[in-house]
Every structure is written in structure tokens, then in C-alpha cells.
Structure 1
């Protein structure tokens, strides 16, 4: 074949569509979050069950925070912990989803947020029951008694999922206003938003440690679970967008 014809043949090959590349990026990113989050959770669970690894720091971190308490920090972190309790988070998520559905006249993203929250607290209750880990000494609790089990931290898990999923749905939902995976979001904006969500989850986790209700490994495991659930949400949203993007026969 002449050189000119070979060049024409190469140029005639269809290039990958931008939407396809975006879908791959979404799926790989979501899978990465899922694997990383699950890895953190299982590492913490193994540490707790074998009393090794990070679990060796549980007692020291707890004692240090109890000894370093101050009235100002106690008031602030108690307020943070109260607002981010599972019951309050469900109420906030429900009201937000209702307002979103009414104002934007859409159901998918509000339903995705509510589904993620319901799955989070269901999974948290199941894991607590299966692991059956006791809390630190009740004498160190600063907000009254709590008979629930310790692993994982429901406050941290719920807040992490709520904030991370909410940021994704607001900024990076696969089903953007201009079609699947085409919502224009500046990278600095996305980085700042997800960083703020992560810091919010870390603050709640620290509040549970400071107030005496959880061990360090409880909180770290909860953060891993929150990342994993966020990855699942992104996968589900991306699969829906990919199906919508397939042309009808």
C-alpha cells in the first residue's frame, strides 16, 4: 500500500470520544477510592482483633486527649459531635434532599444522597454488632452515657459519607447539565471542596476521640469506610450516566 494511503487509513481510525475517556477516569477513580477505603478498614479491623499495629496507640491517644482537655475545646467539640450524630445527619440529609428535589425538579441526586446515608448507618450498625468492641471507660465520657458499641464511629462514618458524597454530587456528578460526565468544574475548586469535606470528617472524628467515646482505630476505620462508600456512589452514578450515553438502536 502506498505511503499516502497508509496515512489516510491511520487518520480514518476513530479517536476515543471525550465522554468515553471521562467515563474511564470516573470508573478508575471510583475503583481506587473503593479499594483504598476498604484496605484501610480491613487493616484497622485486623489491628483491633489482634491488638497490634495502630491499635497499640489506642490507649495512649485516649489518655493524652483526656488529660489535655480544656473548657473551650470541650464546648466546641461537644457542639460538633451533637450536630453530626446519626439522627441529626439523617434529618439534615432528608431536608436537603427534599429541598433539592423540589427546587431542581430532579430525583436522582437527592435519592443518591439519601441512599448513601441509609446504607452508611445500616452498615455501621451491622459492623458494630459483628465486631462487638467495647468503648473506652465511661468515666471519661463528656456527654453522658452511651451503651452503643465502639467500632466503627457512626458519627465519623456518617459525616464523611455525607460531606464527600454531597461535594461530589454538587461539583462532579457524572450526569451534568450538558450531558453525561461533562459538568465543567475547575480543578482548584474541586480540590478545595473535597479538602474541606475531608477536614470536616477529621474534625468530627477528633471530637469523638476528645470526648472519650472512641478509640483511634475506630475513627480511622470509619474514615476508610466513608471513602469506600463514596467510591461506590461514584461508580453507581457513572454507570447510570454511561447507560444514558448509549445511543438507542
Structure 2
């Protein structure tokens, strides 16, 4: 969640993410200890996010927050040789450290550290799994601008994923870096603020894959993505309501599926 609640508040967010993608038919893809061609994947994620701004002063104008994300996934894969499917709890994400600093009335910076825990169901005999079966540590930093009078919102958020080894397949996914940004313009409508804008991302794997399970070598991934975003903000029974709808489509992919992604998020701040 880009926008943290105000000090002493709790934000609860419900999210749905639908992702469908495929590799070029001739591409050989390492999946669950196998090399697969004609590989495609379809996933649906239902996620509950919670974040609490404690209001605790961390010094020098920084405040402390903490968060939790619990996903449920339904995954279906297809490749030469057959299809697989699985559903269940995904990898729970813990955000034990979120530090926020308001530089002015409209500008804010966050420094975050999250841990993706291997709680999701994983079976090396399947090419579709709700979990990844390894830990990921994610330091990140974000910059946010919000001008409520003119309705402009801007965010840029970047970080890296530092992964451990999947012990079931002896596959170590190399470190990845990412950058996401969104720009919207809102107007008064429907009893609140309706915004329309554009969102994009960049992803680059900076360290090659390794381990005996890395059957296709380093397999460094890369992708860029872009798409529209629709937002709604309003007051609802003493709470702040925020709803977002996004569609992102990829381009310039390398060793990644061409995956269109559609997401809907509903957030309440108490």
C-alpha cells in the first residue's frame, strides 16, 4: 500500500490480482526442477493487507509503522507434457520495519523492510505452486506526493529482492531490483475524488540463478510494464475509503512471461 494511514491509524486492504502470461513457445524454462517448453501460467491472488501506523517517534522526524500481507492463490500452468493446478495459502509477507518522514505538507518518504516467508504450499512434482519455497528479503524506499486541492498524486517506489535457495530443487534465484511509479489526476465526483492516471514498472535481475537445479544457467529476467489506473477516494462512516483498479501489460521482457496483470484493491483506513 503506497499511502500509509495517519499516525495512530490502521489500514486494511483487500486485493484481487489476476495475472496471465506465457513464454515464447520455443523458450526452455526451468520450473520446479524441470525444463519446460510452451510454458504458460495463470494465477489469481486474493490478498489481505494490514498496516498500522503506530505514531511512535523514531527520531529526527521519522515515525514507525508495521504491516502484514496474507495471500491466497489459485495457480494453473500449462506446458508441453501437460497441465498442473494448485490452490492455497501463499507466502505471507511481514513488514516489521516501515519508517516514514513527511518533508512538507505534500511530500513524504518511506523506508521499508519486508520478509517474504515460505508459508505457501509447494510441491516440486508440480509446475504450479502457490508458494515459492524460499525466503526473500526486500529493502525498499518510496517517495510520494499528494496535492488534495488540485487532485494530483505521484508515487515512485523501488527496492530489491534478495532470495535464499529453494532447498527442494537446489535452485537459487538471483537478486532482483524493481521500480514502480504511478501518476494520477483526480476530480470531485460521485461524492469523493475520482482519479485517472498511468502506472508502470521496471524489473531487472542483477544476479544470475545458480545451484544444481538451474538447468538453464543464469536465466536473468527483465521486464518493463505500463498501463492505466483508475482511483476513487471518499469518506465512509468515519473511515477513509480508497479503491484502485489497474491493468498493466509488459514489453521488453527477457526470461520472463509476457504477463498481463489486472488488479482491484479496496482499502479502509480507521
User: Is the shorter-chain TM-score for this pair beyond 0.5, marking a shared fold?
Assistant: no
Which one has a larger percent strand, Structure 1 or Structure 2?
2
Normalised to the residue count of structure 2, the TM-score between the two structures is: 0.26
Which one has a larger percent helix, Structure 1 or Structure 2?
1
Determine which structure has more spread, i.e. the larger CA radius of gyration. 1
Normalised to the residue count of structure 1, the TM-score between the two structures is: 0.27
